[in-house]
Amino acid sequence: MATVLNNSDLTLKEKAKKALGVNPEDAKISKSYLSVAFISLFLGGLFGLFQGLNRAGLLELPSWLNYYQVLTAHGLLLVVVFSAFVTIGYFYAALSHDLGGLLSKVRRMAWVGFWTKMVGIVLVVIPVLMNEASVMYTFYPPMAAHPVFYIGLALVVVGIWILAAGAFIQIANWRKKNKGQHLPILSFFAMGVFVLLVGATSFVAVEVLFLILPWSLGWVDGINVMVSRTLFWAFGHTAVNIWYLTATSAWYVIIPKIIGGKRFSDTLTRVVVVALVIMNITGGFHHQIIDPGIGLSVKFLHVFMSLAIGFPSLMTAYAMFSVFERNGRAKGGKGALGWLKKLPWGDVRFLSPFIAMAAFIPAGAGGIAQTTNQLDQVVHNTMWVVGHFHLTLGMAVVMTFFGIMYWLIPHLTGRVLTKGMNRLGIIQTIIWTIGMVIMAITMHWVGLLGSPRRTSFTDYFGSAQAAGWEPFMMVIGIGATLLLVGVVIQVYAVFNMMFFAPKGVTEFPVAEEEENASKTPMWTERWGLWIVLMVLVVAMAYVLPLTDMIVNAPPGSPPFKTW
Ligand code: HEM
Ligand SMILES: [Cu+2]
């Protein structure tokens, strides 16, 4: 009897340690990733403000810093550096927490990956600073940057592969030791995210290594522009969706715990992850709806595939609001909407990701408009699109990431979230929300009036139509200014929590399943099968169009420097 008690005592203690403790060596890895992420947010945000003010006609950039240079840096710093580094820092923390600490081999790989990425980023940044790579983050040929820019990008990809390999080794090791068990839920998300990262970056690696680098070095004369754009978007579209999947993991797993509730169906959560992994990469063509040289049937297939990923998103929306309603009612909320009042609105760890989720509703609706051929004709390459991805990325993803920081950083550093910091976080959340809503709605609107994206200030030789955009641009400038205030507060909050917050213990908040939840079927763990299916779906979507573009290739294009 005594031993039984002792045993359960021990597991309790173990459980407590598991929930609270953090391996300091592993924490260092995540802290490094997050530090780089938030320095990038600061610089990227500053550049965003320059863009907003320039387009409002309020800021003339100095001759040594041109608009497209700034825009390239803004896109790269925020989409490629900030989002990726938060994702990696967060999931490596989750793997360490879920799977009993990182293996020392995996820890070493995480550092090698880190430094590979850092060297890559430096190599990307140097030509951008020298105005030798103002090709924007999409680096579409035939615009050509200095070869060093592409070598840097290749290293960034290699860094990702090393990190993904580390995650796979960690997970495989755990599975070997825990046969017949489900991978803990956040690690399941991590598995999906790293599989997608490898899938997505394979395309851009082929693009950079086999098409662009030899061409930019002058070894070959021409480049197949269509093939490179197609490879880019198989990557670019997936990358953005990976950041979204990362945010989704916090919605399913973390937020229920923060509001004191339980997770929604474990089976459904895993099915959503698997569905997103299998179907994601094929959405790429929806960025090329207006591109010539792609047959209607292929475009139609991709519209279908794009809408197909809308489906798991709708399941997510349903699941989240179901969790909120049950939780609010359990706390005594009455009537149709009374449960809403019971949610912890004063807790930044909830408020910020909640607004993020709410923003995804109009953001997703705009996305459905854009993925429709006829509607995209109206908004393509206008400011509408910029408004769209500031809602999806700048709100839905980024605000979730911000919300995560208020527990993840104290957890990693052995500190606590103080009342004062929570209050500052709420203020930050409100400023960011107002700024992004003002900026994004105005961008959508002025886009409908025809204002193009990726264009520095011009009055188009006194055109009356262009003059009509100017008041909107002023409003965008106001939104951008508020956002920079938000950036400054957020970066301050992150580094304050990292180095100065009071010492203490902060848990890694992973919600439990409902007591009466049905058992999740083991087939959800068949990652080999999911990867094969992913490859099949990708092949179905890409083999024919790519073959067609290669076999019936137009003459290749020489490199151009348009700036
Ligand atoms: C201080 C906050 C921000 C401001 C003021 C801002 C402002 C802007 C503006 C005005 C543009 C349009 C430039 C043009 O098309 O001519 C732009 C583009 C863009 N922004 Fe932001 N932004 C901010 C934050 C973010 C965040 C957090 C993300 C993503 C994580 C993001 C991602 C992008 C991307 C991908 C582009 C497109 C770049 C391109 O066309 O090459 N921005 N931003
Ligand atoms: Cu996309």
The three-point CA angle 299-303-309 to 5° equals 145
Mean pLDDT of 501-522: 93
Amino acid at 273: V
Mean pLDDT of 307-316: 86
Residue 286 Cα to ligand 2 middle (Å): 6
Residue 487 Cα distances to 116, 386, 506, angstroms = 27, 19, 24
Residue 324 Cα distances to 304, 335, 339, 357, angstroms = 31, 14, 8, 12
DSSP H helices in 143-224: 147-177, 185-206, 213-216
Model confidence at 129: pLDDT above 90 = yes
Highest mean pLDDT among 8-12, 40-44, 549-553: 40-44
Provide the pLDDT for residue 5.
37
The three-point CA angle 58-61-62 to 5° equals 140
Residues whose CB falls within 8 Å of the CB of residue 466, separated by 6 or more in sequence, listed in order: 451, 458, 459, 460
Model confidence at 3: pLDDT above 50 = no
Provide the pLDDT for residue 20.
58
Any atom of ligand 1 within 6 Å of the Cβ of 74 = yes
Residue 99 Cα to ligand 2 middle (Å): 32
The CA radius of gyration of the chain, in Å to the nearest whole number, is 24
Mean pLDDT of 98-120: 97
Work out which ligand 1 atom sits closest to the CA atom of 484.
Answer: 1
Q: Which residue is it, tokens 């896109």? A: 75
Model confidence at 10: pLDDT above 50 = no
String of b and e for 467-504 (b: at least 16 CB within 10 Å)? Answer: eebeebbbbbbbbbbbbbbbbebbbebbbbbbeebeee
Confidence band, pLDDT 50/70/90 cuts, at residue 15: low
Closest CA to 473 of 451, 489, 502: 451
Model confidence at 197: pLDDT above 90 = yes
Asked if the peptide bond before residue 142 counts as cis, ω within 30 degrees of 0, the response is yes
Query: Which residue minimizes the CA distance to atom 6 of ligand 1?
Result: 48
Residue 283 Cα to ligand 2 middle (Å): 6
Work out which ligand 1 atom sits closest to the CA atom of 479.
Answer: 5
Any atom of ligand 1 within 6 Å of the Cβ of 239 = no
Lowest mean pLDDT among 9-23, 444-458, 541-555: 9-23
Over pLDDT 70: what percentage of the chain? 96
Model confidence at 253: pLDDT above 80 = yes
Provide the pLDDT for residue 18.
52
Model confidence at 162: pLDDT above 70 = yes
DSSP H helices in 392-460: 398-413, 419-448
Provide the pLDDT for residue 2.
36
Cα 545 to chain center, whole Å? 27
Lowest mean pLDDT among 199-203, 345-349, 442-446, 512-516: 512-516
Torsion sign, CA atoms 275, 283, 117, 453: negative
If one counts every other C-beta atom within 10 angstroms of the C-beta of residue 251, the result is 24
- Directed axis angle between helix 398-413 and helix 348-370, to 10°? 150
3-state per-residue secondary structure call for 7-47: HHHHHHHHHHHHHHCCCHHHHHHHHHHHHHHHHHHHHHHHH
pLDDT tens for 142-159 read 999 999 999 999 999 999
Provide the pLDDT for residue 9.
47
- Residue 382's SS3 state is strand
Torsion sign, CA atoms 391, 392, 395, 396: positive
DSSP H helices in 56-103: 67-75, 83-98
Mean pLDDT of 354-375: 91
If one counts every other C-beta atom within 10 angstroms of the C-beta of residue 178, the result is 13
Residue 382 Cα to ligand 2 middle (Å): 16
Backbone φ and ψ for 334, nearest 5 degrees, come out as -115, 165
Torsion sign, CA atoms 147, 151, 156, 157: positive
Closest CA to 98 of 6, 167, 198, 163: 167
Confidence band, pLDDT 50/70/90 cuts, at residue 309: confident
Which letter does DSSP use for residue 333 in this model? -
Provide the pLDDT for residue 522.
94
Any atom of ligand 1 within 6 Å of the Cβ of 386 = yes
Global confidence as pTM: 0.94
Cβ distance 84 to 46 under 8 Å? Answer: no
Model confidence at 299: pLDDT above 60 = yes
Rounded Cα distance, 322 and 316, in Å = 10
In total, the chain counts a number of residues equal to 563
Q: Give the tokens for residue 498.
A: 């990292």
**Across all residues in the chain, what is the average pLDDT?**
93
Provide the pLDDT for residue 243.
97
Residue 287 Cα to ligand 2 middle (Å): 6
Which letter does DSSP use for residue 222 in this model? -
Provide the pLDDT for residue 492.
98
Over pLDDT 90: what percentage of the chain? 85
Work out which ligand 1 atom sits closest to the CA atom of 46.
Answer: 1
Lowest mean pLDDT among 9-13, 278-282, 342-346: 9-13
Ligand 1 pocket mutation, candidates 232, 390, 397, 431, criterion most atoms within 8 A of CB: 390
Residue 23 Cα distances to 102, 104, 107, 463, 466, angstroms = 8, 12, 11, 62, 57
Mean pLDDT of 425-444: 98
Closest CA to 491 of 560, 383, 361, 398: 398
Which letter does DSSP use for residue 202 in this model? H
Lowest mean pLDDT among 263-267, 273-277, 307-311, 524-528: 307-311
Confidence band, pLDDT 50/70/90 cuts, at residue 336: confident
Model confidence at 284: pLDDT above 60 = yes
Any atom of ligand 1 within 6 Å of the Cβ of 435 = no
Any atom of ligand 1 within 6 Å of the Cβ of 443 = no
Provide the pLDDT for residue 4.
38
Provide the pLDDT for residue 17.
52
If one counts every other C-beta atom within 10 angstroms of the C-beta of residue 333, the result is 18
317 exposure class (CB count in 10 Å sphere: 0-12, 13-18, 19+): middle
